[in-house]
């Protein structure tokens, strides 16, 4: 059976647990599903634990983009859990974007054969542990969150040829932060606006077009071509690299860097690709970096002391920097805050207790037309009354810090840009030839 690419799998996480510890696992899974917003394969709700077979487990894991292991004495005693771990690690070896997480829910000792290096402590469901888990939901987190060196890369990630692999090796050597649309978002028809935003807020774009005889009239991936059209329509600088036989539309060539297509092949000298990439890099370096739309803004009370976990979760969920007014310094801080809010990709404002600072910053976002998301702690009396100025906006209510972190993750992930680890992607393509092209 052909292996389903991660971006086409219906579940975010497969849940492995010992059934005797279900009372410890249930609250965490419900938080992941109902508050964080993950689609979780959990046999207590998704499958039938009485009908478990190796085949069913394999099907469940290969329909997921990752697996989470709830370690307990019951997990260690189960006859199924070690098979689940082995299946998940096999998926991870095939594609390092497959997420493998482990959390400890009781005082069990880990066996020597357990191969996951980091185990999160969830013996108490508290905010710091939850923040660590949310930050760990990215399998290959970037080393930086700023977008100053972002270049949008549109390329095939499965069925790569020697020609496309050579090109990607050369691109990876340039030192850019290579970004793209997140694979867990909806299909292309629903994501064109988000893709346009990511391309527009990058330095430029590189388009790598593989030859595919089965896809006339251009004989290449229509999805990659469509992303090139988006770059062209918003007048972003883009470089075209294509295998021989690809028919690139004339309008795309005329609007591209150098108004030409650089042909790539398995025996293309590295120096020729290096030369065009170097010229493109020089072109991008002459453009001033404008960070509008490349960061989020977190609006909270000036007295808030627990925002570090919130902002770090937002960064890991979106792969863009999170800014806060409290962290800005200088003589004209108020003007800086206004400008930062006006330039944010989105603003998340906690308007609990009608804190003046949060209300002002949320109002600035509304006035500037920036995407504004609101959250508020449910008052002790249970009233969910909202100020008149916010009546047209959805309010995300929370009961505690754990639910607030989930809201921050869920909203920030809507703006996620994928950051590629090309070395791992190229290596993986040599092992796996069963996916679809981009």
Is the peptide bond preceding residue 94 cis, with omega within 30 degrees of 0? Answer: no
What is the mean predicted confidence (pLDDT) over 212-223?
95
Residues of the chain with CATH 3.40.50.10140: 6-125
Q: Is the pLDDT of residue 367 over 90?
A: yes
Assess if CATH 1.10.3720.10 describes domain 295-415.
no
Model pLDDT for residues 228-278, shown as the tens digit of each residue:
999 999 999 999 999 999 999 999 999 999 999 999 988 755 667 899 999
**CATH assignment of 6-125?**
3.40.50.10140
Please tell me the total number of residues recorded for the chain in this structure: 438
Model pLDDT for residues 24-65, shown as the tens digit of each residue:
999 999 999 999 999 999 986 555 555 557 778 889 999 999
**CATH assignment of 150-290?**
3.40.50.360
Residues of the chain with CATH 3.40.50.360: 150-290
Helix axes 270-286, 162-172, angle to 10 degrees: 40
Q: What residues are paired with 247 via a beta bridge?
A: none
Q: What is the pTM of this model?
A: 0.89
Residues of the chain with CATH 3.40.50.450: 295-415
State how far the alpha carbon of 256 is from the alpha carbons of 201, 229, 253, 260, 371, in Å.
17, 10, 5, 7, 31
At 261 the three-state DSSP class reads strand
What is the mean predicted confidence (pLDDT) over 329-337?
80
């Amino acid at each position: 059976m052909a292996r389903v690419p991660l971006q086409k799998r219906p579940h975010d996480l497969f849940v492995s647990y010992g059934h005797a510890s279900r009372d410890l696992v249930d609250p965490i899974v419900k938080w992941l599903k109902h508050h964080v917003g993950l689609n979780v394969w959990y046999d207590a709700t998704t499958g039938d634990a009485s009908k478990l077979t190796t085949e069913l487990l394999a099907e469940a894991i290969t329909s997921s983009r990752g697996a989470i292991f709830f370690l307990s004495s019951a997990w260690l005693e189960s006859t199924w859990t070690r098979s689940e771990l082995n299946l998940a690690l096999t998926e991870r070896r095939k594609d390092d974007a497959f997420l493998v997480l482990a959390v400890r829910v009781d005082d069990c000792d880990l066996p020597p054969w357990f191969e996951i290096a980091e185990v999160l402590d969830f013996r108490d469901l508290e905010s710091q542990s939850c923040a660590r888990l949310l930050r760990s939901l990215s399998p290959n987190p970037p080393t930086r969150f700023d977008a100053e060196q972002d270049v949008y890369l549109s390329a095939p990630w499965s069925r790569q040829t020697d020609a496309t692999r050579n090109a990607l090796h050369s691109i990876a050597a340039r030192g850019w932060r290579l970004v793209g649309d997140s694979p867990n978002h909806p299909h292309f028809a629903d994501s064109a606006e988000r893709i346009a935003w990511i391309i527009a807020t990058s330095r430029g774009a590189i388009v790598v077009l593989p030859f595919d005889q089965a896809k006339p009239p251009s004989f290449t991936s229509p999805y990659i071509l469509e992303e090139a059209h988006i770059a062209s329509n918003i007048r972003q600088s883009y470089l075209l690299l294509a295998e021989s036989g690809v028919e690139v539309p004339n309008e795309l060539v005329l609007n591209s860097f150098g108004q030409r297509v650089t042909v790539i092949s398995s025996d293309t000298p590295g120096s020729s690709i290096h030369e065009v990439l170097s010229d493109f890099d020089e072109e991008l370096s002459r453009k001033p970096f404008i960070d509008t739309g490349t960061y989020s803004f977190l609006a909270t009370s000036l007295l808030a002391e627990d925002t570090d976990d919130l902002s770090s979760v937002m960064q890991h969920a979106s792969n863009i920097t999170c800014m806060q007014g409290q962290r800005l310094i200088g003589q004209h801080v108020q003007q800086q805050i206004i400008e930062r809010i006006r330039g944010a990709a989105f603003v998340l404002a906690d308007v609990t207790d009608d804190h003046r600072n949060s209300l002002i910053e949320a109002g600035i976002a509304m006035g500037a037309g920036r995407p504004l998301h609101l959250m508020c702690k449910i008052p002790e009396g249970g009233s969910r009354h909202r100020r008149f100025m916010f009546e047209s906006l959805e309010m995300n209510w929370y009961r505690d810090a754990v639910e607030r972190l989930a809201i921050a993750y869920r909203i920030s992930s809507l703006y996620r840009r994928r950051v590629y680890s090309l070395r791992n992607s190229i290596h993986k393509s040599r092992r796996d030839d069963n996916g679809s092209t981009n």
